[in-house]
Chains A and B, each alone.
Chain A
């Protein structure tokens, strides 16, 4: 069974440009999460999808970030326009049906975003 995959693995863009990150969750996982780790800091929650609906987007830093999950399969996270402080590693995770006691999340390898 394939794990969570993310694309690209690394993106280098200039300030003001747009970047779109993609996450393909484990097949059959309704829950999809985005997290971010900026340099020297802990991983922070960005948002949570249940199928195609945004369950919780309280961690999204500002309106330059737009996440979508059309059809409830893969998800994209767009940053427009990118700022220097957006640099970091963006992780995606997925889990099975919400309500499980542990709701174990499986993580992708991350996309390293560098904004110059």
Chain B
């Protein structure tokens, strides 16, 4: 069964600190892996998209890694800001359009 699991479920850190969110997937065939940020009351916004051959991809303070052998991905946030408070969702595509979503990690940044 195609599944995407994320950990932790929620995380609270102090402003300025770094954090890493985890994603494990059992999706086959694999096309690409995406990380989305979703603010409360808003739609998801794409942070990174990685294909099988990409090990790491950065978008500002966000760096995603992908290990296609172990089917694991991580999202590292550097020097967190209050505006980083949101849900971060790992999504795996098994074809060109169908997306399989994780439940998300709720991140809270405290001043």
- List residues of A whose CB falls within 8 A of some B CB: 4, 31, 33, 35, 41-45, 48, 55-56, 91, 93, 95, 98-110
Identity of the chain A residue whose Cβ is nearest the Cβ of B103 in the assembled complex: A42
Does B44 have its Cβ within 8 Å of any Cβ on chain A? Answer: yes
A60 to chain B, nearest CB (A): 13
Alpha-carbon separation in the docked complex, A55 to B46 (Å): 23
Of A31, A41, A42, A91, the most chain B CB neighbours within 10 A belong to A42
* Cβ-defined contact, B96 with A99, below 8 A: yes
Set B42, B51, B99: member contacting A109, Cβ < 8 A: B42
If the complex has contacts A102-B32, A109-B42, are A44 and B101 also in contact, measured as CB distance less than 8 A?
Answer: yes
A74 to chain B, nearest CB (A): 16
* Cβ-defined contact, B103 with A107, below 8 A: no
* Cβ-defined contact, A101 with B51, below 8 A: yes
* Cβ-defined contact, B49 with A107, below 8 A: no
Set B41, B42, B51, B98: member contacting A48, Cβ < 8 A: B98
* Cβ-defined contact, B97 with A109, below 8 A: no
B96 to chain A, nearest CB (A): 5
Return chain A residues, CB-CB under 8 Å to B4: 42
Return chain B residues, CB-CB under 8 Å to A41: 103
Of B43, B51, B100, B102, the most chain A CB neighbours within 10 A belong to B43
Return chain B residues, CB-CB under 8 Å to A4: 43
Q: A42-B89, A104-B49, A110-B43 are in contact. List 15 more A-B contacts (CB 8 A).
A: A4-B43, A42-B101, A42-B102, A42-B103, A43-B89, A44-B101, A45-B99, A48-B97, A56-B98, A103-B97, A104-B46, A105-B99, A107-B43, A108-B43, A109-B41
Does B45 have its Cβ within 8 Å of any Cβ on chain A? Answer: yes
Return chain B residues, CB-CB under 8 Å to A106: 46
